[in-house]
């Protein structure tokens, strides 16, 4: 028993009750006491061989019984592993005339239909993009999410670069890493752009896995 | 290995606790009539486990509750099985509660000095019924919606406090988000906590007074382990088999119903629902 004192035999009923309960709960002062004052009886033992078979059966049946509900829950819990991200269609984001001719990027929300597990929602914000002109009829689009850890990247007008406020990654106007000390493993994620009807900017909006050198769809 | 276990035992005293749990004296040896309490503890454990996993994919609001349950039932791998086990274990539990109560009455286990434990048992019975009632609404389908409406309107008839009580339970004058969040908090928080508290005392008092032995004793005394544990484990397996049978019944008999628990159409206050009935075990009160 070491340093653990036994409960004195004359301990009050209340103390004993508390002691028994704390033993059941395996909490509180139970560890300080032994269970020597528990009622024990000398029970005639059955042959060891018969006992072994019974014990094995009890453990096996008990394990099977307990595992069925636990495993059914676990399979449901693991269900998200087989879900893939939605492959977004091109979305009308802005008009060409709303972009400055000097190539300064502008941020636009991407409004699209979105399936969020059990709810389908039409016309909700699903993300944002930076758009900038790179010619009279050409537009470049970047996902605003930092490829390092997923923060929202700001555009710093004075430095003409993108800057992530979380871990100081910085990106040039063309999306490449501007500062070699940037923790981001890759430049900003460029998105496919389609100019339609002369003035409509359609972007194929996608999110990509953060923290990876390669651009892998999330 | 022995050294590791000794190290653990010196710090936790786990051997004594296992000893206390397993070497309970069974006067007259193991018998099948002593299994009912253990089957109920098993059912409760199943409900806790499956309930926690269901919780991970359930969204309690009138805009999302039915949708999330539909998603569990029809989209998630084995979701129908998980939901079915939870639903039918609740039903089976009500049968087992009655059997346990009958055994207590027949064997006179409610008599002195076990009266307080009998009261705890009755408290647990009511709590399990309350869990069944609150769980019924959570899918927010026509069946649960209209049945709960009837139940809470009956509550409002109670003298003096009825209308206020109804408002508190449904979270306002109308049924909606707040009804679901309240029922869910009751179903997954308040009631399970009360069940655990009462069950700890129930088992503690049971161990204090020991099993109510059936006379005449047919065998010498035995310990709980292994004979009675084996009986209990086989009984729990039978309970599980009954639950799985109910879950798989549409597949076994080609009834064309959904596997697992039924999910009616989404709750709609403008659509009539002819079968606004509670679950079968409440029908005697309805």
Please give the ipTM for the structure prediction.
0.91
Stretch A66-83: mean pLDDT, rounded? Answer: 95
Burial B48-65 (b: 16+ CB within 10 A, else e): ebbbebbeebbbbebebb
Structural domain contains residue A74:
no
Verify that A37 and A104 share a domain, yes or no. no
Verify that A22 and A119 share a domain, yes or no. no
Return the pLDDT at A43. 61
Domain holding A182: CATH number?
2.102.10.10
User: Considering only A13-22, A75-84, A148-157, B170-179, which range has the smallest mean pLDDT?
Assistant: A13-22
Verify that A96 and A191 share a domain, yes or no. yes
Write the DSSP assignment of B23-45 as a string of letters: --EETT---GGG-HHHHHHHHHH
With residue A75 as reference, give the H or E element that holds it. helix A48-77
Return the pLDDT at A105. 97
Structural domain contains residue A209:
no
pLDDT class of A15 with cuts at 50, 70, 90: very low
Stretch A25-36: mean pLDDT, rounded? Answer: 37
Return the pLDDT at A12. 44
Backbone angles phi, psi at B21, to 5 degrees: -70, -40
pLDDT class of A11 with cuts at 50, 70, 90: very low
Instruction: Tell me, yes or no, if B46 comes closer than 8 A to chain A by beta carbon.
Output: yes
Structural domain contains residue A46:
no
Q: Tokens 């096996």 identify what position?
A: A60
Structural domain contains residue A83:
no
Count A/B contacts: CB-CB distance under 8 Å. 130
By C-alpha distance, which of B94, B65, B63 is closest to B246?
B94
Verify that A194 and A95 share a domain, yes or no. yes
Residue A10 has pLDDT above 80, yes or no: no
Nearest-angstrom CA–CA distance, B223 and B26: 6
Backbone angles phi, psi at A171, to 5 degrees: -130, 140
Helix, strand, coil percent values for chain A (each to nearest 5): 25, 30, 45
Question: Which residues from chain A sit within 8 angstroms of residue B53, using beta carbons?
Answer: 72-74, 76-77
Nearest-angstrom CA–CA distance, B169 and B175: 10
CB contact under 8 A, B42 and A30: no
By C-alpha distance, which of B262, B63, B180, B183 is closest to A118?
B63
Verify that A11 and A100 share a domain, yes or no. no
Stretch A10-29: mean pLDDT, rounded? Answer: 41
Q: Please state the domain count of chain A.
A: 2
CB contact under 8 A, A40 and B23: yes
Helix, strand, coil percent values for chain B (each to nearest 5): 65, 0, 30
Under a CB-based contact definition with an 8 Å cutoff, are residues B109 and B122 in contact?
Answer: no
CATH superfamily of domain region B36-282: Cytochrome Bc1 Complex; Chain C (1.20.810.10)
Q: From the DSSP assignment, how many helices (H) and strands (E) are in chain B?
A: 11, 2
Nearest-angstrom CA–CA distance, A16 and A18: 5
Residue A8 has pLDDT above 50, yes or no: no
Give the pLDDT of chain B (286 residues) as one tens digit per residue. 899 999 999 999 999 999 999 999 999 999 999 999 999 999 999 999 999 999 999 999 999 999 999 999 999 999 999 999 999 999 999 999 999 999 999 999 999 999 999 999 999 999 999 999 999 999 999 999 999 999 999 999 999 999 999 999 999 999 999 999 999 999 999 999 999 999 999 999 999 999 999 888 889 999 999 999 999 999 999 999 999 999 999 999 998 888 999 999 999 999 888 777 788 888 776 5
Question: What's the burial of A13, exposed, middle or buried (CB within 10 Å: 0-12/13-18/19+)?
Answer: exposed
DSSP state of A71: H
Q: From the DSSP assignment, how many helices (H) and strands (E) are in chain A?
A: 2, 10
Nearest CA in chain B to A27: B12
Instruction: Tell me, yes or no, if B20 comes closer than 8 A to chain A by beta carbon.
Output: yes
The tens digit of pLDDT for each residue in A145-190 reads: 999 999 999 999 999 999 999 999 999 999 999 999 999 999 999 9
User: Considering only A8-17, A53-62, B223-232, which range has the smallest mean pLDDT?
Assistant: A8-17
Structural domain contains residue A213:
no
User: What tokens appear for A38 in the block?
Assistant: 């528990």
Verify that A11 and A112 share a domain, yes or no. no
User: What tokens appear for A135 in the block?
Assistant: 């010619």
Return the pLDDT at A45. 61
Under a CB-based contact definition with an 8 Å cutoff, are residues B56 and B48 in contact?
Answer: no
User: What is the domain extent for residue A160?
Assistant: 90-204
pLDDT class of A44 with cuts at 50, 70, 90: low
Return the pLDDT at A46. 59
Nearest CA in chain B to A21: B204
Return the pLDDT at A71. 97
């Amino acid at each position: 028993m070491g340093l653990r004192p036994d409960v004195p035999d004359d301990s009050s009923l209340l103390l004993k009750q508390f002691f028994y309960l704390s033993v059941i709960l395996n909490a509180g002062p139970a560890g300080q006491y032994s269970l020597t004052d528990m009622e024990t009886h000398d029970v005639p033992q059955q042959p060891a061989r018969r006992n072994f078979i019974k014990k094995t059966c009890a453990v096996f049946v008990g394990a099977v019984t307990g595992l069925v509900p636990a495993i059914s829950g676990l399979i449901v819990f693991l269900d998200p592993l087989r879900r893939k991200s939605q492959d977004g269609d091109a979305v009308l984001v802005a008009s060409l005339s709303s972009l400055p001719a000097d190539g300064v990027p502008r941020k636009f929300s991407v409004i699209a239909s979105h399936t969020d597990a059990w709810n389908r929602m039409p016309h909700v914000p699903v993300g944002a993009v930076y758009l900038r002109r790179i010619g009279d009829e050409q537009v470049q689009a970047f996902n605003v999410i930092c490829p390092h850890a997923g923060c929202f990247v700001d555009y710093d007008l004075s430095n003409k670069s993108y800057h992530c406020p979380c871990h100081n990654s910085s990106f040039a106007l063309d999306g490449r890493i501007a500062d070699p000390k940037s923790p981001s493993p890759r430049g900003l994620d460029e998105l496919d752009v389609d100019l339609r009807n002369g003035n409509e900017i359609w972007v194929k909006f996608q999110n990509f896995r953060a923290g990876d050198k390669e651009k892998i769809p999330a | 290995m022995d050294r590791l276990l000794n190290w653990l035992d010196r710090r936790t005293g786990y051997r004594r606790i296992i000893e206390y749990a397993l070497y309970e004296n069974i006067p007259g040896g193991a018998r099948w009539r002593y299994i009912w309490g253990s089957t109920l503890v098993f059912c409760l454990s199943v409900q806790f486990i499956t309930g926690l996993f269901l919780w991970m994919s359930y969204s309690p609001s009138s805009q999302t509750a039915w949708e999330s349950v539909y998603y569990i039932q029809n989209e998630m791998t084995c979701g129908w099985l998980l939901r079915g086990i939870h639903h039918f274990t609740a039903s089976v539990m009500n049968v087992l509660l009655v059997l346990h109560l009958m055994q207590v009455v027949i064997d006179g286990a409610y008599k002195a000095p076990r009266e307080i434990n009998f009261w705890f048992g009755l408290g647990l019975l009511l709590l399990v019924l309350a869990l069944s009632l609150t769980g019924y609404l959570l899918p927010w389908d026509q069946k649960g919606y209209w049945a709960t409406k009837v139940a809470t309107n009956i509550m409002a008839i109670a003298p003096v406090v009825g209308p206020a009580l109804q408002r508190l339970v449904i979270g306002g004058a109308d049924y909606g988000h707040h009804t679901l969040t309240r029922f869910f908090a009751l179903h997954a928080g308040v009631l399970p906590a009360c069940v655990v508290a009462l069950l700890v005392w129930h088992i503690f008092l049971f161990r204090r007074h020991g099993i109510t032995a059936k006379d005449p004793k047919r065998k010498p005394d035995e310990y709980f382990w292994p004979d009675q544990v084996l009986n209990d484990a086989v009984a729990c397996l039978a309970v599980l088999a009954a639950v799985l049978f109910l879950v798989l019944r549409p597949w076994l008999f080609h009834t064309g119903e959904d596997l697992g628990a039924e999910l009616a159409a989404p709750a709609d206050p403008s659509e009539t629902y002819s079968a606004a009935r509670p679950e079968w075990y409440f029908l005697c009160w309805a």
